[in-house]
Each structure stands twice: as C-alpha cells, then as structure tokens.
Amino acid sequence: MASVILPSAPSESRPGRFGIYGGRYVPETLMAALLELEHEYELAKPDAVFQQELDGLLREFAGRPTPLYFAKRLTEELGGAKIYLKREDLLHTGAHKINNALGQGLLAKRMGKKRIIAETGAGQHGVATATVCALLGLECVIYMGDVDMERQELNVLRMRLLGAEVRGVSAGSKTLKDAISEAMRDWTTNVRTTHYLLGSALGAHPYPTMVRDFHRCISREMKQQILEKEGRLPDAVIACVGGGSNAIGAFYEFLQDRDVRLIGVEAGGRGTELGQHAARFQGGVPGVLQGTLSYILQDEDGQIAQTHSVSAGLDYASIGPEHAALHDSGRAEYVSQDDAATMDAVVKLARTEGILPALESAHAVAECMRIAGTFKPHDILVVNLSGRGDKDMGIIARELKL
C-alpha cells in the first residue's frame, strides 16, 4: 500500500494529476479501497498472465481488433477529407465500454471482490459490466438515473437478462451524475466486499488513468491500421466526450504526434444557457465533483448545474480530468454539436454507409460532417464510432417521426 504523502508535496507532482486536474477528492472511508485498487492495478499492469488473459478476452470475447473502415460514400458526399471510422460499435455489447469492463472485471477477481457495482448513463457501460459479471461469475448491481432508464429501456432489459440488478436513481436530475453519486454511496457502505467498476475516465485516482489505459487499444490499433492503409497518420481524430473514456482512448497514442489534431465533441444539447447543454468547456469552471478536479457546469454558488443532451451518455456536468488538462494545454480541441445536428448525423451515416451510430457517437459524426469540406482530398479524418445506435431507436423514431 502506498504511504501517505504529506500535504507539503505540491499537488501537481503527485500521481493521478493531469496538470492541476484530477486528484482524489473522496470521503476518507473510500481511501483504503482506492489505495488497494491503485496498488493492485500497478501489480497487474506488468503481469504477463493478467495481460494475456485480458488480451485473449478482448480478442476472442469482445472482438478486437475492431476495423478501421473507409467511409467511401460519406467521403464523397461531404467532398473533402477522406473519412475513416474506427468501428468500436462492432464490439460485443455494442460499444467501446467492454474494453474497460473486462479490464476492471479481471482486476476485481484478482482482488477477491465478488460483488460489482457500476453506474450507467446510456446503459452501454451497464450492459458491458453486466456482461463481464456474467462471464466471470460476479454479482452485479447497476445504478441508473430514472430518466435514463426510461430513454434507454432496451439496455435496462439487456442488463436484467444478463443477471444484473438495475437500481433506479430518483435523486437530482435522475441521470448519469446521480447514478455515480448513488454508486459511490453503495461503495462507501460495502467497500470491503465490493469493487466499483467506474465506466468513464472520471472519478478519483486511479480511475481516470486506469480507464484510459484499458481504452488505449483504440488509438494503438487506429495508428497501426491507418499506417497500413495510408502510410501516414491522420490529420485529425474526432471523438465524442461525455466523461471522456472513448475520446481519451482514441487520442492517447497520438498525443506526441503534434500534427494530428485531436477533436473532442461535447453535447451542445438544445441551447447555450446553463442547463440546456453538457458542453463543459463552454461555461464550465474548474471545481470538484465525484472525486476529481475538472471543469464543471455549476452555478455561482458551486451547486452542480442540470445538463441536457439527447444522448444519455454525454449528459454529465463534469469531464474527465485528463481532457481538462489537454484543453488547457491546447493539445486537444473541444467543440460541441447540438441535438439537431446529431440527429442529422444519424440519418446521414445510416443512409450513406448503412451504419446506425449511437447518439453519443453521432456527435462526433456531426463534427466530422461540419469540418470535412474544409480539408483537402488527401487529408484524413478518423472518427471514433464508439457505439451502435440500436439502443436509441425509440428516441430516434420519436425525433424523426419514423
């Protein structure tokens, strides 16, 4: 177990910090578990047996590597850069979330924790967690806001079929933020027997680092695949950002490649006033929520603001701390796309490529549609298509009056 670093140490130099962001802001009761998790993760990382088991499951069970697909018709329609889609939507359970769920599931097994809890917004992380628990024979409880349970009902049913107990959360905005708080309360109460399988690059150290590492395979494959196909790196990588797990996974291996633009797309919702969107870099200010220091949409008293997005997975008031640092350093750019542009992107991708993207991922597609025409024909854009849209058919049908 790591020894206690006394508070004279400057916070920026400590593990779990991304610039000034990140850290560990939790009730003391959770500290022993966080230190145990950090310790166990550090042991597992260089452990060949652990990595082999994880790689095997990612390959045989989840379906990695995922294809890097050249979207020919979309490219022609938009008339600019060549567009490639990283097909995380083809993974088992339908989104990138399974990468991290498998990693942490194996870690929980190593730690001898037999009970798993998780939060979920869009339900993709909940489904991935329930799937891994079924695979590994672990008890599974998923917290999900009442609003999200209603709008992502299909995923609620999938989780139940997989043997998970789905607990609705009726507090606050009844969305992802409230599900995380409730999961943290459960963890605080059952910390001796339970692993909290956090699903985004959020929360207290070591979660943002660990979740990123489990998703690094996305950019590692992307890089290798684009070099094979094009013999060079892309001009930009585009990914949607809720908590930021798929985006950090898609960005990470390109951080040192300064010529590759990294573009994170937040949820613009239905307006620019506080409460109508989830664009943390447009109106958010640094603060502490749910264990980490990052940009937060909040009012002048430090109360966390309500957010809105058509996509449950991006509907969150804070953002992963590493994104906050990448924003401040300028290494990544963050833009937003609103609900309407997202719906247009769903239709466009469905009808040009025969691919139904998740509403979350459609935000990245929308940004690609906006900027593709500003590039030259030999330029390359890679969109991380983080999930598939079957779960969203109810919302899509209603919005588009299908």
Binding characters for another protein, 126-165, by CB under 8 A (x = yes): ----------------------------------------
Site string for another protein, 39-78 (x = CB under 8 A): ----------------------------------------
Question: At its nearest, how many Å lie between another protein and the CB of residue 187?
Answer: 10
Q: Which of 56, 59, 157, 189 binds another protein (CB under 8 A)?
A: 189
CA terminus-to-terminus distance, the chain: 56
Q: Does 206 bind another protein (CB under 8 A)?
A: no
Of the residues 87, 177, 363, 391, which one makes contact with another protein according to CB under 8 A: 177
Nearest CB to another protein, comparing residues 4 and 48:
4
252-268: b (≥16 Cβ within 10 Å) or e: bbbbeeeebbbbbbbbb
Taking CB under 8 A as the criterion, which residues in 293-332 touch another protein?
296, 298, 300-304
CB of 315 to another protein, least distance (A): 15
Window of 24-32, 98-106, 130-138, 240-248 that interacts with another protein by CB under 8 A: 24-32
Return the number of the residue (40 or 367) whose C-beta is nearest another protein: 40
Q: Is the CB of 133 or the CB of 293 nearer to another protein?
A: 293
Interface region with another protein, contact rule CB under 8 A, candidates 28-36, 66-74, 144-152, 213-221: 28-36
Distance CA(155)–CA(278), nearest Å, equals 22
Q: Residue 95 gets which letter from DSSP?
A: B
Rounded to the nearest whole angstrom, what is the least distance from the CB of residue 375 to another protein in the complex? 40
Contact 326, 21 (CB under 8 A): no
What's the min distance (Å) between Cβ of 291 and another protein? 8
79 binds another protein (CB under 8 A): no
**Among residues 65 and 286, whose Cβ is nearest to another protein?**
286
| Of the residues 3, 13, 256, 374, which one makes contact with another protein according to CB under 8 A | 3
Q: Is position 224 an interface residue for another protein (rule: CB under 8 A)?
A: no
State the CB neighbour count (10 A cutoff) for residue 79. 10
The alpha carbon dihedral of 215, 219, 224, 228 has a sign of positive
Distance between CA 214 and CA 296 in Å, rounded? Answer: 25
Q: Closest separation between CB of residue 157 and another protein, Å? A: 28
Q: For residues 386 and 364, what is the distance between their CA atoms, to the nearest angstrom?
A: 9
* Comparison of 1 and 402: residue with beta carbon closer to another protein: 1
Rank residues 103 and 321 by Cβ distance to another protein and give the closer one: 321
Paired tokens of 382: 């890679």
- Window of 29-37, 53-61, 159-167, 250-258 that interacts with another protein by CB under 8 A: 29-37
Does 402 help bind another protein (rule: CB under 8 A)?
no
Residue 264, CA distances (Å) to 10, 306, 336, 367, 384 in order: 29, 21, 8, 9, 10
- Using the minimum distance from each CB to another protein, give the nearer residue, 84 or 143: 143
Asked if residue 63 lies in contact with residue 91, where contact means CB atoms within 8 angstroms, the answer is: yes
| Catalytic sites, residue numbers | 97, 119, 386
Backbone angles phi, psi at 332, to 5 degrees: -120, 150
Query: How far apart are alpha carbons 20 and 282 in whole angstroms?
Result: 19
CB 295 within 8 A of CB 286: yes
d(CA 369, CA 385): 14
Q: Number of residues in contact with another protein, rule: CB under 8 A?
A: 49
CB 240 within 8 A of CB 386: yes
Q: Which two tokens stand for residue 229?
A: 């196909």
The interface mask with another protein, positions 258-297, x = CB under 8 A, is ---------------------------xxxxxxx----x-
Q: Tell me the one-letter amino acid at 364.
A: A
Taking the complex as a whole, the smallest distance from the CB of residue 316 to another protein amounts, in Å, to: 12
Q: Compute the distance between CA of residue 188 and CA of residue 290 in angstroms, rounded to an integer.
A: 13
- What does the DSSP assignment read for 267-283? EEET-SSTTS-B-TTTT
Tell me which amino acid residue 148 is.
D
**CB contact at 8 A, 144 and 179:** yes
Beta bridge partners of 120: 144
CB nearer another protein, residue 32 or residue 393 = 32
What residues line the site for another protein (CB under 8 A)? 1, 3-11, 14, 23-33, 171-172, 177-178, 180-181, 184-185, 188-192, 285-291, 296, 298, 300-304
